[in-house]
Each structure stands twice: as C-alpha cells, then as structure tokens.
C-alpha cells in the first residue's frame, strides 16, 4: 500500500465517522487556536512596549536615587532620596555630553473639576521635559522656566485625563484642584498611547517640579533626573561625566558605591525584552497544554478505532498487507486528524487575533514563525500520539483478528 492509498483509506475512514472525527479534532483545534492567539497577543504587547520605550528618546539617560538598607533589608530603587534640583543644573553645566535635563517627581492623586474627579499620575517636571522625553503639546502650551522659578500653580494635562474631566470641551483656562490646591490648565499634551507596565502618559498631569515639591508633595529631593545626551553614541561618555559630577557633589569616595543609579535606553529595552520573553513563553506553554490534551484525545479515539476495525485489519493482512502497511495506515489517519485540526485552529487563531486588535488596546500580531511552529507542533502531536495505536494495530495476529467479533 503506497502513500496515496493510505491517505485515501484515511479520508474514507474519517468521512465514515464524521462526528467522531470532528470531536477528535476539537482538542487540536482548541490547542492550536490558543497557541496562535496567545503568541499574537504577546507579540503585540512586546511591540507596543518597545515602541513606548523608544518614544521616550533613544539618547535619554535616567538617573535614579539609590537604595536604602535597614536591618539587612534592601529598599527599592529610589528609596534613598539623594538627588536634588541643583544636581540637575550641575549636570547640564558640567557635563559636555549632556544637552538638557529634566528633574522629576511623581505620585498618584485625585484631581477634581467641579463635580467630576479622576485618579491620575501627577508628574512634577521641568520646562525641558517635552524635549527630553520626546513628547509635545497639542493645545495651549507647556510651562516655562519662569513658571518653575515662580512656583506657579499651572498644569498641562494628558488627553485621557482631559476627556475624563472635561469631556469634549477644551480644558484650557479651566481650574482644577489637586489635594484642594487650585491649578490652572494651560495646555493639553499630544496623545502617545499606553504600553503595559510603563504607565499611561495620556492619563497624567504635568506641573512645575518646584510646585510639586513645595506645594503638593512636600518633598526636599527629587525621584529621578532624565538627561539627554547630544547623540546616541555619546551615552557612555555622558554616563561617565554624570557619575563623576554627582559623586563629587555627593561626597562619594572613589572606593565607595554611588548613591544613585544611571540607566540608559538600551538597558531599559533589554529588561523589557526579557520580561516580554518570559511572558511569551508562559502564554505559549499554557496554550500548548491544551494541544497535548488534544493529542491524548487522538490516541484514545485511534485505540477505539483499532478495536472496532480488528476484523478489517485481519482481512487486509490475509490479502497480503504487511505489518508496516497497517502501521502506516493508522499513523496517517492520526496525522490527518491532527493536521486538519491544526489548519482549522490556525484560521480561528488568526481571526481571533484580528478581533482582539479591534476590541482591545493591544494590537495582536500573528507572525509566520508562530503559525509554522503551531502547525508543526500539531503534526508532531499526531505522529507521537498516533504511533502507539498504529503499532498496536500492526502487531495484531491475523488469525485472531479474523476471528474477532
């Protein structure tokens, strides 16, 4: 019996038992569907995350306060407040590789406008924040160096927060309250979009860093300084210059660790990429379990089929079919079941990915490698779980098979 004859017999068997074949394929269909959809969602989330990080600027350095240690327990990054506004000024003046800096403090708070309120992230920043962080104002203006020196109560609002508080009306000139303190809206930021664990810049409120520190949060130190290097290839040089300047200002001896940490975009992207890899593997692993369950279903049904067709197997052997012909016949049946189920699962997975992109912020992205991997895995499942039933069929004794009732 050649391959074409085996395929013909396999399809005849499946057509003769349509409902059973459909239910057998269901496990593989669900498994492949889950793998395609989960990997597409993970891939889309990764792309959005990378885009969000890149939108911050490729030549931006993040200088964060160090860690505290109490009773042998290390605090989180920034738990030791050591950076000051004067540090930010000194970096610009004394580091030739740095163009601009933006000192930053932040905290979440309720913002009220008349009878409406919403929870937003309050960002205390400098006038250079839009340039350093690669963002812009779509309406009105951003606050100036004069606003910062005068500790004015002005704010620029993100589009999401603006819509929550003001609907479709322009927020320019409106008075809002942060912790009971009135602020005048002077600008609306251009929409950037959210990206996973890196927050939603569209749901933020930006106020002068001096106002945030002295009137809203009551802080003496800043959380972070964003520094913009002249060029991407000068970031390492900028890091060395910043380290030297801050160690000198903070009186850090040469043999001691600095009380701050500097991260560049490459490190941030590498960490985000590692997180995305873990997330992708976790989702893919969970989805693959259902594909294995589908394979067990195929093996179960094929064993039933071997039992039901024992007399047929005996007749084939009596007519000259070799054991390997019987084995190939049942193995191909299992493979056909798995491949058809895999093909249907891929189609449903692609359709589901498009649906996810339409109804959620995540743009699910179906990649060719994920489709090939899923289809190959489905084929492997069919071969692996179909081998035992096929082997069992080929090892039947012809005489006993013919006597089977």
Per-residue pLDDT tens for 327-361?
777 788 888 888 888 899 899 988 988 888 888 77
More confident residue, 327 or 92: 92
pLDDT score recorded for residue 147: 93
Per-residue pLDDT tens for 103-113?
999 988 889 99
Mean pLDDT across the chain, nearest whole number? 82
pLDDT bin (cut points 50, 70, 90) of residue 281 is confident
pTM over 0.75: no
pLDDT score recorded for residue 185: 95
Q: Does the pLDDT value for residue 99 go beyond 60?
A: yes
DSSP 360-403: SSS-----HHHHHHHHHHHHHHHHHHHHHHHHHHHTS-HHHHHH
pLDDT bin (cut points 50, 70, 90) of residue 57 is low
Q: Report how far apart the first and last C-alpha atoms of the chain are (Å, whole number).
A: 26
- For the ranges 206-215, 331-340, 394-403, the maximum mean pLDDT occurs at 206-215
Listed residue (203, 367, 210, 207) closest to 284, CA to CA:
367
pLDDT score recorded for residue 177: 93
| Residue 120, C-beta contacts closer than 8 angstroms, at least 6 positions apart | 108, 109, 111, 158, 161, 203, 204, 205
- For the ranges 149-153, 275-279, 291-295, the maximum mean pLDDT occurs at 149-153
Distances (CA, A) of 5 to 262, 345, 350: 68, 27, 33
Per-residue pLDDT tens for 180-201?
899 999 999 998 765 444 557 7
> pLDDT above 70 covers what percent of the chain?
87
Q: Does the pLDDT value for residue 69 go beyond 60?
A: no
| Residue 402, C-beta contacts closer than 8 angstroms, at least 6 positions apart | 311, 314, 315, 318
């Amino acid at each position: 019996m050649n391959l074409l004859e085996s395929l013909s017999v396999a399809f005849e068997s499946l057509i003769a038992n349509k409902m059973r074949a459909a239910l057998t394929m269901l496990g593989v269909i669900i498994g492949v569907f889950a793998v395609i959809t989960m990997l597409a969602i993970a891939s889309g989330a990764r792309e959005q995350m990378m885009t969000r990080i890149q939108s911050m600027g490729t030549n931006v350095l993040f200088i964060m306060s160090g860690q505290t240690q109490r009773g042998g327990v290390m605090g989180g990054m920034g738990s030791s407040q050591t950076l000051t506004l004067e540090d930010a000024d000194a970096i610009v003046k004394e580091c030739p590789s740095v163009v601009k800096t933006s000192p930053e403090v932040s905290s979440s708070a309720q913002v009220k406008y008349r009878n409406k309120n919403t929870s937003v992230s309050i960002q205390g920043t400098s006038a250079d924040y839009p340039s350093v962080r690669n963002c812009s104002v779509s309406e009105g203006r951003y606050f100036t160096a004069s606003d910062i020196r005068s500790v004015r109560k002005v704010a620029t609002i993100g589009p999401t927060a603006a819509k929550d508080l003001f609907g479709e009306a322009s927020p320019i000139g409106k008075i809002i309250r942060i912790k009971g303190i009135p602020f005048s809206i002077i600008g609306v930021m251009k929409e950037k979009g959210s990206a996973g664990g890196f927050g939603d810049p569209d749901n933020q409120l930006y106020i002068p860093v001096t106002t945030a520190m002295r009137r809203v949060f009551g802080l003496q130190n800043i959380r972070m300084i964003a520094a913009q290097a002249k060029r991407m290839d000068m970031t390492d040089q900028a890091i060395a210059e910043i380290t030297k300047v801050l160690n000198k200002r903070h009186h850090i001896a040469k043999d001691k660790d600095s009380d701050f940490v500097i991260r560049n975009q490459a490190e941030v992207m590498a960490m985000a990429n590692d997180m995305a890899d873990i997330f992708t593997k976790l989702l893919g692993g969970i989805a693959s379990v259902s594909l294995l369950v589908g394979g067990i279903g195929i093996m179960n049904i094929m064993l039933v089929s071997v039992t039901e067709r024992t007399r047929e197997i005996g007749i084939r052997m009596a007519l000259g079919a070799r054991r390997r012909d019987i084995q190939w016949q049942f193995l191909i049946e299992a493979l056909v079941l798995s491949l058809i189920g895999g093909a249907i699962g891929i189609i449903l997975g692609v359709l589901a990915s498009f649906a996810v992109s339409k109804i959620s912020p995540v743009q699910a992205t179906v990649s060719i490698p994920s489709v090939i991997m899923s289809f190959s895995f489905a084929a492997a499942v069919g071969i692996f779980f179909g081998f035992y039933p096929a082997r069992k069929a080929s090892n039947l004794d012809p005489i006993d098979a013919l006597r089977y009732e």
